[in-house]
Chain A
Amino acid sequence: MTQVTTERPASRARPAVPSRPWTRDRVETLVFTVLRWVVIAFFLVATLFPFYYMVLLSLRTIQRFLLDPANLSFFGHVSAGGYATVLKPVSKGGQGFLIFLRNSGIVAILTVLVTLLVSVPGAYAVSRLKFFGHRQVHALFLAVYLFPSILLAIPLFAFFTRIGLRGSLFALVIVYISQTVPVSIYMMRNYFETIPRSLEEAAMVDGGSRLVVIWRISLPLAKPAIMATSLYVFMIAWNEYLFALLFLVEDRDHWTVPLGLALLSGSVEIPTTVLMAGSVILTVPILVLFYLTERLLTEGLTSGAEKG
């Protein structure tokens, strides 16, 4: 730390204050204090502005928008017409997003339920019970994420085409489960490991069977982790695009919200502002769910990161 002496030109500029020299420490502290707020402001603009722009355009008519595309103010011409158009069924001149919302809801909720049914026992087994190969399971899950989903999509596409189920929401749910089970097990396993074993052992000595103990003791204690996992799975299923595109593209009545938005945004007839209303409808449920449970979710995802 020998270089921590006056080496900035600034030290010569102010010789009048010899008691507090412009050390590197002092200069840097000052610079970083200012820079920190500049950077925070930059991040706020970069993350918030696109969403501000989204809501802004969704509340504007297309004529107003094209007339003055640089106008970023909410005041003046707020119109909810875009939302009405995007939600109305196609037969009434709308875009039928209500049906897409229903499809997305069905797919996401079913995915969450089945994923939990499969992964809660799995996570419990991996964290608690010694059985043959319980260490290797880990590597298996990593392998799942090594392969691009497009690689898995090809045979699944072929398989569901052959059995004639491609195009059904049911097929999509099955595919999503395979994508969400590994990450769910990873998230819940960490949590199960923090529940003291002695609680379960005590209950077992009292004569409870393994399943009763899991149901009565472990599951209630793991509720926060299960909640967080459900939300994460819901987010994945709600936002997914590639498989929805491959499986459901032919039948408009089966489109999910992301698929509908992506496909309709390619058409020139539908005004951008109407599609912005669709984007808001797609984004809001996820944001509400997320911010209601933010702490749960981020802790569930990053637990273990502290260990380095």
Chain B
Amino acid sequence: MTSAVTQERRGRPGPLARREARAGLALISPTLVVVLVMVIIPVLWTLMLAFQDVRLINLRSTGLFGNYTLENFRFVLTSPDFVSSLVSTLIYTIGGTVGSIVLGLVAALVVRRPFRGRAIVRGAMLLPYISPVVAATFVWEVMLSPQFGITNQIGTRLLGWKQAVPFLSEQTGHLSLFGLHFTVPTAMLTVIAFEAWRYFPFSFLFILARIQAIPGELEEAAKVDGAAPSQRFRHIILPQLSGVLAVLAVLRFIWTFNKFDDVYLLTGGGAGTQVASVRVYELLTAQADVGGAAAQAMVLALVLMVCLLGYFALLGRRGKESAS
């Protein structure tokens, strides 16, 4: 302790502080190298590829200073699939984000108080999140299969569905409810349901941790004042959760927006579910158009950034309004 005290008295960064700075840089440098080589350089490289005419065949011969062109962006932005894929991505992202957070909130509310078997229920709720995505999508595929899937078996045998529903391969289905007829994007709703099912445990864990940190007296006081459960939720619990809900919304939005595996494994991007990252993959592999894929990926990252900036601007304005 003595050396630290004398040093503070001296004021300027002494030998210890300098040694600390050097040790810090030495310890963090492996991390920086990894991030630089595996993240920053690849991002910059993608940016360059996006402006070059690169195909899988001439990939080996393309140099740093090839012929730069805007052709890839023209191709990506004017392609008829671009707008539809962007719309699918946004619907999927918003649906999946809202779905997983709402389910997570409900789950956290029902297990917040101790009961017999709570640990088991809590453990079961984490299953979808930790199980490998390939196994989870495969089970869903089999469960939803029109020929022998259990969902359609129960639907046609017990619930009186007229015919099996091809959940993963039907772009628009017809639904009759109370004499009203709707058209619904079947495959899109299914992948959103999968997203909500698979990722609600993530929101659940964070919300539960936050709920259990709310001091019990707050709710007790409201109870004494005669507030009903829904009022206590609305006026006591929800305001306490606003911080964690905002963070979850951002995280889930980013991750769902960039999601590839889930949709690709479930539908292969067919039936109106070609989200943007699946489209990048198709460009890269099926069409062997590396430059086009890079341009599409860049546009994707740009749209995401615009969405996030908009969200933060909205949050900032709301924060100011409630403060004034």
Q: Which residues of A are in contact with B by a Cβ distance under 8 Å?
A: 1, 4, 23-25, 27-29, 32, 36, 39-40, 43-44, 46-48, 50-51, 53-54, 57, 65-66, 69-70, 72, 117-119, 121-122, 124-126, 128-132, 134, 137, 140-141, 143-159, 161-162, 174-175, 177-178, 181-182, 185, 201-202, 205, 210, 235, 238-239, 241-242, 246, 257-259, 261-262, 265, 272, 275-276, 279-280, 282-283, 286-287, 290-291, 294, 298, 301-302, 305-306, 308
- Please determine whether B213 and A306 come into contact, CB atoms closer than 8 angstroms: yes
- Please determine whether A162 and B30 come into contact, CB atoms closer than 8 angstroms: no
Tell whether A29 pairs with B229 under 8 Å between CB atoms, given A146-B304, A282-B132. Answer: yes
Cβ 8 A contact of A43, one of B125, B132, B209: B125
Min CB distance A11 to B, Å, is: 14
Main secondary structure on A side of the interface with B: helix
* Pairs A-B, 9 closest by C-beta atoms: A178-B38, A131-B24, A129-B24, A148-B258, A122-B31, A125-B27, A155-B45, A69-B148, A121-B27
Min CB distance B96 to A, Å, is: 15
- Please determine whether A148 and B1 come into contact, CB atoms closer than 8 angstroms: no
Q: Which residues of B are in contact with A by a Cβ distance under 8 Å?
A: 1-4, 17, 19-25, 27-28, 30-31, 34-35, 37-39, 41-43, 45-46, 49, 54, 59-60, 106-107, 110-111, 121, 123-128, 130-136, 138-143, 148-150, 153-154, 157, 197, 205-206, 209-210, 212-213, 225-231, 240, 243-244, 254-255, 257-258, 260-261, 265, 277, 280-281, 284-285, 290, 293-294, 297-298, 300-301, 304-305, 308
Main secondary structure on B side of the interface with A: helix
Tell whether A50 pairs with B139 under 8 Å between CB atoms, given A70-B150, A130-B20. Answer: yes
- Please determine whether A1 and B231 come into contact, CB atoms closer than 8 angstroms: yes
- Please determine whether B124 and A178 come into contact, CB atoms closer than 8 angstroms: no
Pick 25 A–B contacts, CB within 8 A, sort by A: A23-B228, A28-B230, A44-B121, A50-B140, A69-B148, A118-B30, A118-B34, A132-B21, A145-B255, A146-B308, A147-B39, A148-B280, A148-B300, A148-B301, A151-B298, A157-B284, A174-B38, A178-B38, A201-B4, A242-B260, A258-B133, A279-B139, A280-B135, A283-B131, A306-B213
- Please determine whether A235 and B254 come into contact, CB atoms closer than 8 angstroms: no
Tell whether A51 pairs with B35 under 8 Å between CB atoms, given A129-B24, A261-B138. Answer: no
- Please determine whether B127 and A130 come into contact, CB atoms closer than 8 angstroms: no
Tell whether A151 pairs with B38 under 8 Å between CB atoms, given A132-B21, A238-B132. Answer: no
Min CB distance A292 to B, Å, is: 12
CA distance A128 to B54 in the complex (A): 46
CA distance A159 to B213 in the complex (A): 48
Q: Which residue of B lies closest to A134 (CB)?
A: B24
Tell whether A275 pairs with B138 under 8 Å between CB atoms, given A148-B301, A175-B38, A241-B261. Answer: yes
Q: Which residue of A lies closest to B41 (CB)?
A: A155
- Please determine whether A151 and B297 come into contact, CB atoms closer than 8 angstroms: yes
Q: Which residue of A lies closest to B18 (CB)?
A: A131
Tell whether A154 pairs with B35 under 8 Å between CB atoms, given A25-B228, A43-B107, A272-B142. Answer: no
- Please determine whether A28 and B261 come into contact, CB atoms closer than 8 angstroms: no
- Please determine whether B23 and A129 come into contact, CB atoms closer than 8 angstroms: yes
Cβ 8 A contact of B49, one of A23, A137, A155, A301: A155
- Please determine whether B148 and A65 come into contact, CB atoms closer than 8 angstroms: yes
Cβ 8 A contact of A121, one of B28, B124, B157, B212: B28
- Please determine whether B297 and A154 come into contact, CB atoms closer than 8 angstroms: yes
Min CB distance A83 to B, Å, is: 15
Min CB distance A243 to B, Å, is: 10
